Amino acid sequence: MIQQLLGNFSHDIGIDLGTANTLVYVRGKGIVINEPSVVAINTKNKQILAIGDEAKRMVGKTPANIVATRPLVDGVVSDFEITEQMLKYFIEKVHKESFVLFPRPRVVVGIPSGVTEVEKRAVEEAAMNAGARQAFLIEEPMAAAVGSGLPVHDAAGSMIVDIGGGTSEVAVISLGGIVSSRSVRIAGDELTDDVIAYAKEEFSLQIGERTAETIKINIGSAAKLSKMLEAPIRGRDMITGLPKEMTINSDQTRKALSRSVRAIVDAVKHTIEETPPELLADIMDKGIYLAGGGALLRGLDVLLAAQTKMPVHIADDPLTAVVRGTGMVLEDLDSLKDVLVSTQYEKVPH
Give the Cα-Cα-Cα angle 155, 283, 272 (nearest 5 degrees).
Answer: 105
In a domain, 247, yes or no: yes
Task: Tell me which DSSP letter residue 293 carries.
Answer: G
| Dihedral (CA of 315, 169, 81, 208) sign | negative
Give the Cα-Cα-Cα angle 25, 37, 324 (nearest 5 degrees).
Answer: 25
Which among 84, 136, 140 is positioned nearest to 115, based on CA atoms?
140
pLDDT tens for the chain, residues 1 to 350: 444 444 455 679 999 988 888 899 998 888 888 988 888 888 888 888 888 888 888 776 777 788 888 888 777 777 778 888 888 888 888 877 655 556 788 999 988 877 788 888 888 888 888 888 888 999 999 999 999 999 988 888 999 999 998 889 999 999 888 999 998 989 999 999 999 999 999 999 999 988 999 999 999 999 999 999 999 999 999 999 999 999 999 999 999 999 999 999 999 999 999 999 989 999 999 999 999 999 999 999 999 999 999 999 999 999 999 999 999 988 888 778 777 876 554 444 44
- Determine the Cα–Cα distance for residues 235 and 194; give it in Å rounded to an integer: 15
Same domain for 220 and 300?
yes
Same domain for 139 and 153?
no
- Determine the Cα–Cα distance for residues 186 and 166; give it in Å rounded to an integer: 6
Rounded to 5 degrees, φ, ψ at 15 are -125, 125
- Determine the Cα–Cα distance for residues 173 and 20; give it in Å rounded to an integer: 25
- Determine the Cα–Cα distance for residues 150 and 343; give it in Å rounded to an integer: 24
Same domain for 9 and 131?
yes
Residue 80 CB neighbours (<10 A): 14
In a domain, 346, yes or no: no
Q: DSSP string spanning 258-286?
A: HHHHHHHHHHHHHHHHTS-HHHHHHHHHH
Give the Cα-Cα-Cα angle 60, 66, 67 (nearest 5 degrees).
Answer: 60
In a domain, 274, yes or no: yes
The number of folded domains in the chain is 2
| Maximum pairwise Cα distance, the chain | 68
- Determine the Cα–Cα distance for residues 317 and 29; give it in Å rounded to an integer: 17
The alpha carbon of residue 337 and the mean position of all alpha carbons in its chain are separated, in whole angstroms, by 22
Rounded to 10 degrees, what is the CA torsion of 275, 276, 282, 285? 60
Same domain for 79 and 193?
no
- Determine the Cα–Cα distance for residues 107 and 24; give it in Å rounded to an integer: 10
In a domain, 295, yes or no: yes
Same domain for 45 and 187?
no
Q: Which domain holds residue 325?
A: 2-143+321-339
pLDDT at 341: 79
- Determine the Cα–Cα distance for residues 292 and 258; give it in Å rounded to an integer: 19
Same domain for 102 and 175?
no
Same domain for 230 and 123?
no
Same domain for 157 and 221?
yes
In a domain, 252, yes or no: yes
Give the Cα-Cα-Cα angle 302, 249, 292 (nearest 5 degrees).
Answer: 40
Task: Identify whether the C-beta of residue 144 lies closer than 8 Å to the C-beta of residue 323.
Answer: no
CATH number for the domain including 52?
3.30.420.40
Residue 236 CB neighbours (<10 A): 15
Task: Identify whether the C-beta of residue 187 lies closer than 8 Å to the C-beta of residue 167.
Answer: yes
In a domain, 347, yes or no: no
The reply to whether the predicted model has a pTM over 0.95 is no
Amino acid at the residue 65: N
